[in-house]
């Protein structure tokens, strides 16, 4: 099947408007596409029900939620939830807090004599949600510190002068939000969870499989087994884990348009691996 269950639009950090992305997907023969913007469902207001009866392509409404995790690299994909109002309200509250947090960091910077403005930070973020790494890069760019590591160690790490506590959902909260709204919760690009973590012995509760088991215990439904940057070995390992724990499997490119020019839209994936997931979506 030619599908894509992980894409981004201008509602978050993609370069295609929601309707234009669906049209592009149609033009290249994609059968099913999911729109999964970061921490927002606002993109669906633009397409409403335009493609509900389209005989060529099915559009799945989804979201990618960034959750609190030691590596800052755990994202949960939610699909086909029915209660958009509740999901949207929770996510909007998180976005509002994130914006206030960034304003607080910026004020602290200027109070300490680091001249900076939000436009400069947003330029460095290149359309992505603004966070501490972007403030760190700006400090390097302006010559206030020599490296990103120095920026964090001296100013931005927990307890440092520029630190402001963040607010994100915990994994269980994100999973429960999706499932209580009638949706399906999938772990996005699973190998990203290892970013910044030491390699641990296989079978350890803190091993790669151990992290996944912990999320399954918290209600996770499945894994993004097929992903645009996975190696064959990584895909095989995720297939093994998904089969072992009877998890749903999905396929996603993480398409962002021109913001990720190396990632192409669409994933050719055998139906047998997606069957249970598609059945769950109804």
Span 136-184, pLDDT tens digits: 889 999 999 999 889 989 999 878 999 987 778 999 999 999 999 999 9
- What is the structure's pLDDT at 198? 53
More confident residue, 37 or 72: 37
- Cα 141 from Cα 161, distance rounded (Å): 19
Indicate whether 23 belongs to any domain. yes
Please state the domain count of the chain.
2
DSSP code, position 105: H
Domain CATH for 142: 1.10.150
Residues 118 and 241 in one domain: no
- Cα 121 from Cα 252, distance rounded (Å): 29
Indicate whether 86 belongs to any domain. no
Question: Is-contact 256 263, C-beta < 8 A?
Answer: yes
- Cα 122 from Cα 258, distance rounded (Å): 17
Written as six digits, the tokens of 136 are 């760190």
Written as six digits, the tokens of 84 are 């958009």
Q: Which residue range is the domain that position 99 belongs to?
A: 91-156
Residues 197 and 273 in one domain: yes
Strands 267-268 and 2-7: antiparallel
Residues 73 and 192 in one domain: yes
Written as six digits, the tokens of 238 are 């995720």
| Closest C-alpha to 82, from 61, 58, 65 | 61
For residue 85, pLDDT beyond 60: yes
Indicate whether 27 belongs to any domain. yes
Domain CATH for 231: 3.20.20.140
pLDDT band at 201 (very low <50, low <70, confident <90, very high): very low
Residues 223 and 251 in one domain: yes
Residues 95 and 223 in one domain: no
- What is the structure's pLDDT at 249? 98
Residues 53 and 11 in one domain: yes
DSSP code, position 181: T
Written as six digits, the tokens of 223 are 């894994």
Strands 248-252 and 222-227: parallel
Indicate whether 53 belongs to any domain. yes
For 129-144, what is each residue's pLDDT tens digit?
677 878 988 999 999 9
């Amino acid at each position: 099947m030619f599908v894509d269950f992980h894409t981004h639009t201008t509602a978050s950090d993609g370069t295609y408007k929601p309707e234009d992305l669906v049209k592009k997907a149609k033009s290249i023969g994609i059968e099913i596409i999911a729109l999964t913007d970061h921490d927002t469902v606002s993109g669906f207001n633009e397409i409403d029900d335009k493609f509900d009866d389209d005989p060529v392509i099915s559009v799945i409404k989804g979201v990618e939620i960034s959750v609190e995790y030691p590596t800052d690299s755990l994202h949960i994909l939610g699909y086909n939830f029915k209660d958009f109002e509740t999901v949207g309200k929770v996510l909007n509250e998180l976005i509002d807090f994130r914006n206030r947090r960034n304003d607080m960091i910026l004020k602290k910077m200027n109070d300490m004599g680091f001249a900076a403005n939000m436009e400069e930070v947003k330029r460095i973020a290149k359309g992505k949600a603004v966070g501490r790494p972007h403030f760190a890069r700006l400090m390097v760019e302006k010559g206030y510190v020599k490296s990103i590591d120095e920026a964090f160690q001296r100013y931005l790490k927990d307890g440092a002068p520029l630190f402001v506590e963040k607010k994100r959902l915990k994994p269980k909260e994100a999973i429960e939000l999706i499932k209580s709204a009638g949706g399906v919760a999938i772990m996005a690009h699973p190998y990203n969870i290892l970013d910044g973590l030491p390699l641990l012995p296989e079978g350890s509760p803190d091993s790669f499989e151990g992290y996944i088991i912990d999320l399954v215990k918290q209600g996770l439904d499945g894994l993004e087994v097929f992903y645009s940057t996975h190696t064959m070995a990584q895909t095989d390992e995720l297939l093994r884990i998904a089969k072992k724990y009877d998890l749903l499997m999905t396929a996603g490119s993480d398409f962002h348009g021109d913001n990720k020019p190396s990632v192409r839209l669409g994933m050719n994936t055998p139906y047998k691996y997606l069957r249970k997931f598609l059945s769950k979506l109804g």
